[in-house]
Amino acid sequence: MLKKLCRHTICLGLSLVLFCLDTASTQIAKAPKKRTGTQSEGSLANGGCCEDMRMLKIQVANLTSLLGELSRKHESDWINIHLKSMELENSKKVHEDRLLEAESKISEMNGRLEIMQLQAAQTVTQTTADAIYDCSTLYKRNYKISGVYKLPKDEFLGTPDLEVHCDMETNGGGWTLIQRRKIGLTSFNRDWKQYKEGFGTIRGDFWLGNENIFRLTRQPSVLRIDLEDWEGETRYAEYGFFTISNERNNYKLFISNYSGNAGGDSLRYHNNTNFSTKNKDNDKCVDDCAQLRKGGYWYNCCTDSNLNGVFYRYGEHAKSTDGITWYGWHGSSYSLKRVEMKMRPQNFVAQN
């Protein structure tokens, strides 16, 4: 019938051709519908269980998709947390780097200053005949910046060269430091030989050495002790007369003429006593004070101050009697944060 109709359309116009094509496409479209109908009739013939099966399959598919969604959400939450922690870690590192950079710049500047001071001190000795005996001599030569200097070897006095730390500011300046506690990494529980020769680092914590101190006190000297506690308060004690004897007399201490605001003269108790270390008990006690107080010092029986004791940090500083103590200010079990012992000649005159 289609063929017949199409034969007629050859003689008809273009509009009838279109009609023919339209009819044909309708016929073609109908064909698959018929096939589908036949198939579904076949499936229905299998009974009602298939409907349950279909529902179950749908439920399983739904649950699977729900599980997938949950797992994706979980994963994305975890990734977010991980990213945030990485972000925090990075910003912490940036801050740390900046801090390190600042610290290294400061230390570099300090290093340059120290080199300039050393060069200046060396130049002085090359151009003058007078010995550079201590920091007060340097001060008189117009070196008024606090820091590390090198005292040159002196053939006439028979003294070796020596690195010293000069305080050119406190109460007129000109001070040669003989001891400092401020960082706490250097142990002061040392033997006789180490206390004799000196130990530690001149830029940090150190003991200048009993032999050097003895040499420096051969001219009439003043001793000054600067103290700082963990609250940032400072005190000082000054002795208008200070000297120590030689090694044969156990570097015995002589001090007098106290002045200051340190709450009391906590070095007087140690006046006229020998120096003791952990391997040399020269104290006035049946006990071994150097062993008990863990330092080298002019121990009596045993202490009213223990400036070479154990460095305790904040929080640990008020528990032991072997700390860096000054009884007149904070008692027998408060370890100080910072100490400087320094000396200069009695005839020192501060300049403006």
Residue ranges in contact with Ca ion by CB under 5 A: 281, 283, 285
CB of 287 to Ca ion, least distance (A): 6
Q: Counting beta carbons within 10 angstroms of the beta carbon of residue 292, is it exposed (0 to 12), middle (13 to 18) or buried (19 or more)?
A: middle
Closer residue to Ca ion (CB): 136 or 282: 282
Closer residue to Ca ion (CB): 283 or 340: 283
Closer residue to Ca ion (CB): 20 or 285: 285
CA distance 135 to 70: 77
CB of 272 to Ca ion, least distance (A): 16
The residue whose two tokens read 């320094």 is 342
User: How many Cα atoms sit within 13 Å of 214 on the Cβ side?
Assistant: 17
CB of 302 to Ca ion, least distance (A): 8
Closer residue to Ca ion (CB): 166 or 290: 290
Range list of H helices, the chain: 2-11, 14-44, 49-127, 135-140, 192-197, 210-216, 289-293, 327-330
Closer residue to Ca ion (CB): 141 or 280: 280
Nearest to 276 by CA among 306, 296, 292, 249: 296
SS3 label, residue 27:
helix
CA distance 21 to 11: 15
| Contacts of 289 by beta carbon, 8 Å cutoff, 6+ apart | 276, 281, 283, 297, 299, 300, 301, 302, 303
Nearest to 110 by CA among 175, 192, 179, 203: 203
Closer residue to Ca ion (CB): 222 or 302: 302
CB of 245 to Ca ion, least distance (A): 19
CA distance 300 to 112: 43
CB of 297 to Ca ion, least distance (A): 13
CB of 298 to Ca ion, least distance (A): 13
CA distance 270 to 284: 10
CB of 328 to Ca ion, least distance (A): 24
Closer residue to Ca ion (CB): 171 or 279: 279
